[in-house]
Structure 1
Amino acid sequence: MSDYAQMDLNPRGGGVKSESPLVRARINVVLAASAREAGVVVREKPFLGHLVLRGNAQDEGFRAGVERVLGLALPLALGAVARDESRGVSLQWMSPDEWLIVVPAGLEFEAEAALRRELSGHYAVMNVTGGQTVLELTGPRVRELLMKCTPYDVHPRAFPVGKGVSSVFAKSSAVIRRVDEERWELVIRRSFADYLYSWILDAAEEFGVFVAPAEVARPASRGAERELAAEAR
């Protein structure tokens, strides 16, 4: 007789729940009938332009060049997000020498070219559009949802409107941004997108969750495209 210790990894009885490795992708969530009835509304904002900018924040020329291209002053403090809602442009502090730029769909090429034209010296700008997406969370129960997902303090005293941080989210990570009182954004990596989306739907089910159609944010006017194109030339 063998002394080998054998274990049943898929028991049929005893109240033990077995889960497939793809259980998160096949999650069965009861959705609210409408956004009005939901405590949390989830909407993807796909195809936005994402750029990572690095440079010396103490360099006045670097700061001025960024502001000429984006129309936003370079944030210089932890958690600061500069945003122009009318043009769909945001600029977020990520570390002392790194910022995340988000622009409307289709403007990332022009934005990168314009930055390369205006900036000089030691800097780097990388187009990471294909590697990230944005989830918008709205509704009266979003903060409670976030409390289940991240150890970061999302109370208004610690997380006011206009703040953004990179933090642990679920068992992965996300950039969390508070746009207004009941509207938040998550910037998530492509490789974790399916997992985090399923996690959010599962965590939000108790509050009533509604999935809104994806929103592709285009420039508010062709003027924004022309401005960036002019800087790029």
Structure 2
Amino acid sequence: MADIATRRDPLDGIAPITARSRLTIEAAPRGARLVLRGPDSAAVAAGQAFGLALPTALNTAATDGTRTAFKLGPDEWLLLAPENTEAEAYAAIEAAVQEPHSLVDVSHRNIGILVSGSLAADVLNAGVMLDLDPKAFPVGTATRTLYAKAEIVLWRKGANDFHVEVWRSFTDYLHGQLEQAAREYVK
């Protein structure tokens, strides 16, 4: 009987990048990820089935600490949930949404990276051309953007806490860019 393959993420076995208490860059816990596309009425039903009201304002996040939803476009939401819940969440949303919509499980595609500490915004601004001042990019803001040449979703979870979603194929590149930026800021 063949062994079942074990999922390995690109950051498995890589130690977090730390700079005293000023910066930590580490892999986010694994999780389920779904992309919903459809009208706002579909998002209402999807949110009820998902267990979290989906945000209605563009480039915002809603979270209950376990589940998170980002509104990334006029008809697009990225949903994050605990690992191994994708099938359950997918089935619940499909059963609840009656309008035409698209729901895709992208759990295998994305990797989450947490960037936190007083230098987090500076390190992210080394590759992101957004104003990450808390007045311009407040807590709860989430947007699709670029870090250097990698497309990411950037979410400000707290004053000095960010969550970055990146495609698995860009993880090594992004991690290397973050590591290089960290070295520059902690000299």
Determine which structure has greater relative contact order: mean sequence separation of CA pairs < 8 Å that are 6+ residues apart, divided by chain length.
1
Q: Does 1:70 align with 2:53?
A: no
Shift of 1:38: 4.1
Q: Does 1:146 align with 2:124?
A: yes
Runs of 5+ unmatched residues, structure 1: 1-30, 210-233
DSSP-derived class of the 1:149 partner: coil
* Contact 1:76/1:93 (8 A) holds in 2: yes
Aligned alpha-carbon RMSD (Å): 1.6
Question: Percent identity of the aligned residues?
Answer: 29
Q: State which of 173, 177, 182 in structure 2 corresponds to 1:199.
A: 177
Aligned equivalents of 2:78, 2:24: Cα separation in 1: 25
Aligned equivalents of 1:48, 1:202: Cα separation in 2: 27
Moved over 2 A (4+): 206-209
The 5-angstrom pairing of residues 119-158 of structure 1 reads 119-158=97-136
DSSP-derived class of the 1:129 partner: coil
Q: State which of 65, 86, 93 in structure 2 corresponds to 1:108.
A: 86
Q: Which residue of 1 aligns with 2:36?
A: 53
Q: Provide the TM-score with structure 1 as the length reference.
A: 0.70
Shift of 1:170: 1.3
Q: Does 1:93 align with 2:76?
A: no
Between structure 1 and structure 2, the one with the greater Rg is: 1
Shift of 1:197: 0.5
* Contact 1:39/1:207 (8 A) holds in 2: no
**How many correspondences in the alignment?**
171
Deviations 1:193-225 (A, max 9, x none): 11001110111113349xxxxxxxxxxxxxxxx
Runs of 5+ unmatched residues, structure 2: 1-16
Aligned equivalents of 2:47, 2:154: Cα separation in 1: 24
Deviations 1:170-210 (A, max 9, x none): 1222100000111100000011111001110111113349x
* Contact 2:150/2:166 (8 A) holds in 1: no
- Give the structure with the higher percent strand: 2
Aligned partner of 2:22: which letter? Answer: G
Aligned equivalents of 1:46, 1:119: Cα separation in 2: 28
Q: Does 1:170 align with 2:112?
A: no
Aligned partner of 2:47: which letter? Answer: E
